[in-house]
Structure 1
Amino acid sequence: MKTIYSVKTLCVLAIMGTVTTVGAQENKTDKDKNLNREMTLEREYDPSVQDANKVNTLPVVKEPVVRKIPIDYATFTVPADPAKEIGLLPSGNIMTQMAYNKRRGYFNFGAGTYLNLNGDIGYHILSTDKDKLNVWYSHRSTNGKVKYIQEDEKVKAKLNDNLAGINFRHNFEKLSLLLGAKYGYSAFNYYGLPMIDPVQSIAPIERYEPDRTTNQVNQTIQFNAGVESKENAPFGYLLDLGYTNFSHKYALSKDQKGPTENTFDVKFDLNAGFGGNQKIGLGGNFEYFNYSLPTNGTQEYLFFENHAEGRVSPYYKVEGDNWNLKLGVNVMFVTGGDSKMMVSPDVAFDMEVADKTVLYAIAGGKLYSNSMYDMSLINRYMDPTEEVTPSRNWLDATLGIKSGVANGFWFDVFAGYKITSDDVLFLPSRLYREGEFGNYTKPMGGIDTKHFFAGANLKYNYQWLDVSLKGVYNNWKAKYGSSWDGASGDLEHAWGKPEMEINAGVSIHPFKPLTIALDYYLATGRYVELFGYKSVKMDNINELNLTGTYNFNDTFGVYVKLNNVLFQKYEVLYGYPLQSFSAMAGVNINF
């Protein structure tokens, strides 16, 4: 294992100059999606780097982020599709809202209670019509004590997240070459409350003190290399070759070495236009997952199988005067012991029904690999010894209407329905042995879910005032899938899934250098199952944060951020409390 980590160090040095991040082709039927690509000076959007006061994340659907300040020297972006988190502190101008159109670099550093530290630095080395090259690094860490909700006990919650990368693009006459790399290092402890079954506690059983001090270490090495045609080429193409190496240092204790996952990925898209407003194409991706397990004779606790996954998506697109249509289908497969094949629609339609008002409908589907790397982004405290069956999302449909017809006011009203087989829920671990980590969470796979949702997203802007409000109602139906032996029927709840979510924000600019912002998040109706038979309602997530920023000039600014100003106690994962009130102060420098 020492040899493996030595090789990783050499690989990081070698790949930093030769690797890529390539964006997938975007669906042009929705004009509100990022049709114009841009390479930002900020780091790649990644949920593993977040506010220092957030030590775990809530797995819900990702929503694209609309940036207020464009970066006018950039020509493309690196899209990502991680799970949305409760709070994420992006780098650079998000804290002080400084524009980077005339600056090449940024530096942000903040420190606060609980030994919370946030830091970001990045620099755009090249910024010409032909060449774009930027490097970035982000750090989030915390090392403070939090108090359990269930017991009057405090425990230290430790986190040390680091993410660094380099991106390069060269524009030739007819195509673009994209190269990039990313390295991630995350150290954390399993500080969750150990579970003791009250039924078992009646009998005299031997109890062990769980290991809540040892730091698990997750490391990620990623690189890609790709080519992409010019945007309006008669024959369009995209080819992206990628590799991800992800590893856990430990399995369930510091005496057990963890597994390593190697993922080889190929993405492609071929398309040709005809008739002036029509296009046919074929897109897809193929992934091969290879696992390196410890060879010390104690790998019986690891359950991983090498396998391949793939998707092929033929499609047809047509653009009208005030409408767009995409007709396609996704054909997906998984090999190995859980070999499966599925077909889902790939359809999208939008039409401008009135001035600045668009009616839209989307029906798609997706195969979620649930790889070690993907699951670590959703829940870092998950059992590192279990492979999770890929989830098959047969249908993900949304119908809505969005409008910006009123001056300064924008709204989006929507409803949708999702059907997923082999969905994944998370439950607290029920047992642990001597020397093992305590409350690591167990993935409850093989669950079939149906999810209806409806909501509205409202935004208003008037000179010195910005207001946003989004509310979503969720109705979940979950039942045991065919992979369960001896269990059938409906679950009492879709464990951990919120029934209602509200996001609200108010930003005030009383005078030019000063900005005061409030953001609020509420999640209700979450339940968890304990010990396989007991349903418990979790406390609502009820968080209000206050941020004040002051820009002395376009180079230097300061900020103060107060988190959880209502002093609420809540958990994202059962037994894993988040910090109570915390404060942070920092500086932001553009250069």
Structure 2
Amino acid sequence: MKTKYQKVLCVAVLLGSAVTVSAQEDETKKKLDREMTLEREYAPTVQDANKVNTLPQIKEPQVTKRAISYSSFTLATDPEKQIALLPSGNIMTQMDYNKRRGYLNVAAGMHLNINGDFGYHILSTEKDKLNVFLSHRSTNGNIDYIQIEDQVKAKLNDNTGGINYAHTFEKAILNLGGKYNYSGFNYYGLPINNMSSLPVEDLLSKADRETNQVNQTIQAKIGIEAKEDAAFFYLIDLDYINFSHKYGLSKELDGPTEHTLDAKFDFSAFFNGNQRVGVGGQVEYFAYNLPTYPAGVPNCAFANHAEVTLSPYYKIAGENWNVKLGANVMFVTGEDNSFTASPNIAADVEVADKTVLYLKADGRLYSNSAYETSLVNRYFNPTEEIAPTREWLNGQVGLKCGAAPGFWFDVFAGYKIRSSDALFVPSFTFNEGEFGNYSNALSGIDTKAFFAGANLKYSYQNFLDIQLKGVYNSWKGNYNDEWEGGSSNADLTYVYGRPKVEINADVTVKPIDKLAIGLNYYLATDRYTRLFAMEDYKLNNINELNLQVGYTFNDTFGAYIKVNNLLNQQYEMYYGYPMQGINIMGGVNINF
């Protein structure tokens, strides 16, 4: 085991010195690339359109990201909550941005992996922008279980389509948008049952691993905001989300529907030239349509409730420093009635040429709504409601520097405190014909975490781009007064699902003008889950290397080939849900 772990570290070090990546991806690629976020950072935040400006601006190396996908079929296709206008082109190949109105990306590979993306700008002027987009991800192939010698078919069919419109007035910007998502998938995880003495073979036949669950999402948005230099700034966003599960815990039972009304706002005004005072906030209301058993007994347990965040703040800017002072006051109504307050402060100061020392401390509510949970873990129990997670503190201090040509780094450390954190573990029981391995959330868990890491980026002309990011996490957890399994304040042996070390290294090499070769490596260590009888189980480290080669023939057409999980490692995102081994995919990208 020690030798294997040393090999993993050696691979990470070698990639860190030789592999490349881009600085910041545009919003389109964020939607299309796989995001390996093991920690739940999905809840929408209160928008603050008038952010504290950093002086001086530390620019990360601007490079062209080669989109390298993981075996992403167990993750949500569209983790972005905000509806964004899509630029054309630059998907999967290194085509430079052009004024053409549309893009098309099509790819296929092993396990019947199929990707498709289409977008078109109907309007693209300084005042009006109107675009439509479609995205498809699907797979249908056999995968080997890790715990036993058996195969299972993993199926996924994700489809997203939408339309966005933005109009720029003289002093304000109007945004409208709509989006629809259809996600079909099967609960292919290895079933376990602590109430049964049946052998594994019988459990496999007892669980429904064939039926496709269907999640559907309808979103609509309207918003208006003043331009950031306005003396009086205002932002108002109204969103509606309709999210539904087709089934409950079996195909014989209907699933619930969640309606979310979400209002975000921010109002602020300048005074004394360099100072601003304001208040932001978010109000969400969640309402549910719940199916019942034939006898009228409720099939699901959800309660209508509201979540409110108010964030008053004060900002001041100096010649080479910025300060924001504020607080977040958070309320939850209904059965999970609670009050939470956290700081909302930030500061940065130029300590040397193009070098900034920064500090930030805030907190937030994780709604843990059915919709947002589906973006993190699509295999979660469709009939279970999770209490909102209250983050009392998320503090971080760091140093950013871009003084050296082509080189940029960020060194940071911080601390988090959360109440009612949601830790996913596999279900322990199921009945005949039900989905056999869905996830549940442990209730009544408080967590704390110290983290430290560094993000290094280097770009050499138009030939080499490198990124290496590593984070060390020290998680601690305990049962709070809401836990129903025994005495409170007892410590958890592990904070389930959270990795101790994460390393992400990327490289892009462009040996000739039209050829780009990219590598991506991701490592996540020391992940544990809980099985029945309070047994802790260590999951295999995520240890994945991916290769992509792309060639741009002209500004219209490009082609690429991707080899995912090049080392053919066996690992699972959640217990019993193995990921694909080595797989190859080829595709084309067209600007038109």
Pairwise TM-score range, normalised by the shorter structure: 0.7 to 0.9
1:256 counterpart = 2:253? yes
Which residue is equivalent to 1:290?
287
TM superposition shift of 1:533: 1.5
C-alpha distance in 1 between matches for 2:448 and 2:84: 27
How much identity, in percent, do the aligned residues show? 58
What letter corresponds to residue 586 of structure 1 in structure 2?
G
C-alpha distance in 1 between matches for 2:546 and 2:340: 43
Which residue is equivalent to 1:99?
96
1:326 counterpart = 2:324? yes
Distance 1:343 1:30, change over 3 A: same
C-alpha distance in 1 between matches for 2:98 and 2:297: 53
Name which of 201, 209, 215 aligns with 2:197: 201
C-alpha distance in 1 between matches for 2:440 and 2:57: 37
Which residue is equivalent to 1:480?
479
Which residue is equivalent to 2:299?
301
Which residue is equivalent to 1:411?
409
Which residue is equivalent to 1:236?
233
TM superposition shift of 1:445: 2.7
Which residue is equivalent to 2:124?
127
Distance 1:172 1:202, change over 3 A: closer
Name which of 21, 39, 47 aligns with 1:24: 47
What letter corresponds to residue 24 of structure 1 in structure 2?
Q
Distance 1:523 1:204, change over 3 A: closer
Q: Give TM-score, length-normalised by structure 1.
A: 0.86
Which residue is equivalent to 1:7?
none
1:376 counterpart = 2:394? no
Contact 1:323 1:351 in 2 (8 A): yes
Which residue is equivalent to 2:265?
268
Contact 1:22 1:224 in 2 (8 A): no
C-alpha distance in 1 between matches for 2:296 and 2:509: 59
Distance 1:303 1:404, change over 3 A: same
C-alpha distance in 1 between matches for 2:192 and 2:400: 46
C-alpha distance in 2 between matches for 1:512 and 1:435: 57
Which residue is equivalent to 1:11?
none
What letter corresponds to residue 474 of structure 1 in structure 2?
N
Contact 2:408 2:457 in 1 (8 A): yes
Which residue is equivalent to 1:140?
137
What letter corresponds to residue 536 of structure 1 in structure 2?
Y
Distance 1:411 1:52, change over 3 A: closer
C-alpha distance in 1 between matches for 2:201 and 2:239: 50
Distance 1:93 1:203, change over 3 A: closer
Name which of 161, 177, 183 aligns with 1:186: 183
Distance 1:58 1:34, change over 3 A: farther
**CA RMSD of the aligned region, Å?**
2.8
Distance 1:507 1:205, change over 3 A: closer
Distance 1:228 1:307, change over 3 A: same
C-alpha distance in 2 between matches for 1:57 and 1:204: 26
TM superposition shift of 1:566: 0.3
TM superposition shift of 1:174: 2.3
C-alpha distance in 2 between matches for 1:589 and 1:213: 36
C-alpha distance in 2 between matches for 1:371 and 1:499: 27
Pairing 1:182-581 to 2, within 5 Å after superposition: 182-197=179-194, 200-201=196-197, 209-295=206-292, 296-463=294-461, 464-485=463-484, 486-488=486-488, 489-581=490-582
TM superposition shift of 1:130: 1.1
C-alpha distance in 2 between matches for 1:395 and 1:404: 29
TM superposition shift of 1:455: 0.4
Q: CA offsets, 1:166-205, max 9 Å, x none? A: 11011222222110011100000000001143x8528999
C-alpha distance in 2 between matches for 1:99 and 1:204: 53
Unaligned runs of 5+ in 1: 1-20, 37-48, 65-76, 81-89
Secondary structure of 1:241's aligned partner: strand
What letter corresponds to residue 28 of structure 1 in structure 2?
K
C-alpha distance in 2 between matches for 1:95 and 1:196: 43
Higher RCO structure (Cα 8 Å, ≥6 apart): 2
C-alpha distance in 2 between matches for 1:416 and 1:513: 42
Contact 1:22 1:240 in 2 (8 A): no
| Greater shift in the superposed pair: 382-391 or 290-299 | 290-299
C-alpha distance in 1 between matches for 2:324 and 2:556: 45
Q: CA offsets, 1:276-318, max 9 Å, x none? A: 1110111001011000011554553311000001011100011
Name which of 106, 111, 132 aligns with 1:109: 106
C-alpha distance in 2 between matches for 1:204 and 1:311: 48
Contact 2:55 2:320 in 1 (8 A): no
C-alpha distance in 2 between matches for 1:53 and 1:304: 33
Which residue is equivalent to 2:7?
none
1:54 counterpart = 2:77? no
Contact 1:234 1:272 in 2 (8 A): yes
C-alpha distance in 1 between matches for 2:126 and 2:511: 38
C-alpha distance in 1 between matches for 2:498 and 2:216: 28
TM superposition shift of 1:241: 1.1
Contact 1:523 1:541 in 2 (8 A): yes
Which residue is equivalent to 1:584?
585
C-alpha distance in 2 between matches for 1:305 and 1:32: 46
Contact 1:242 1:264 in 2 (8 A): yes
TM superposition shift of 1:125: 1.0
| Greater shift in the superposed pair: 414-423 or 224-233 | 224-233
What letter corresponds to residue 209 of structure 1 in structure 2?
K
C-alpha distance in 2 between matches for 1:91 and 1:492: 48
Secondary structure of 1:96's aligned partner: coil
Contact 1:237 1:268 in 2 (8 A): yes
Q: CA offsets, 1:186-229, max 9 Å, x none? A: 000000001143x8528999966100000000000000111111
Distance 1:365 1:412, change over 3 A: same
C-alpha distance in 2 between matches for 1:550 and 1:313: 48
1:157 counterpart = 2:175? no
TM superposition shift of 1:52: 8.0
C-alpha distance in 1 between matches for 2:142 and 2:244: 27
Contact 1:24 1:79 in 2 (8 A): no
What letter corresponds to residue 331 of structure 1 in structure 2?
V
Q: CA offsets, 1:223-270, max 9 Å, x none? A: 011111122111110111110000000000000000000001111110
Moved over 6 A (4+): 32-36, 202-206
Q: CA offsets, 1:321-360, max 9 Å, x none? A: 1111100000110000110011100000011111111100
Q: Give TM-score, length-normalised by structure 2.
A: 0.86
Secondary structure of 1:305's aligned partner: coil
Distance 1:27 1:349, change over 3 A: farther
C-alpha distance in 2 between matches for 1:58 and 1:414: 29
Which residue is equivalent to 2:34?
none
Q: Report how many aligned residue pairs link the two structures.
A: 535
| Greater shift in the superposed pair: 226-235 or 382-391 | 226-235
Secondary structure of 1:121's aligned partner: strand
What letter corresponds to residue 31 of structure 1 in structure 2?
T
Q: CA offsets, 1:397-420, max 9 Å, x none? A: 000001011111111000010000
C-alpha distance in 2 between matches for 1:248 and 1:524: 33
Contact 1:391 1:422 in 2 (8 A): yes
C-alpha distance in 2 between matches for 1:477 and 1:554: 52
Distance 1:63 1:263, change over 3 A: closer
1:171 counterpart = 2:189? no
C-alpha distance in 2 between matches for 1:557 and 1:239: 41
TM superposition shift of 1:91: 8.8
C-alpha distance in 2 between matches for 1:91 and 1:149: 41
Secondary structure of 2:422's aligned partner: strand
C-alpha distance in 2 between matches for 1:421 and 1:300: 28
C-alpha distance in 2 between matches for 1:91 and 1:584: 22
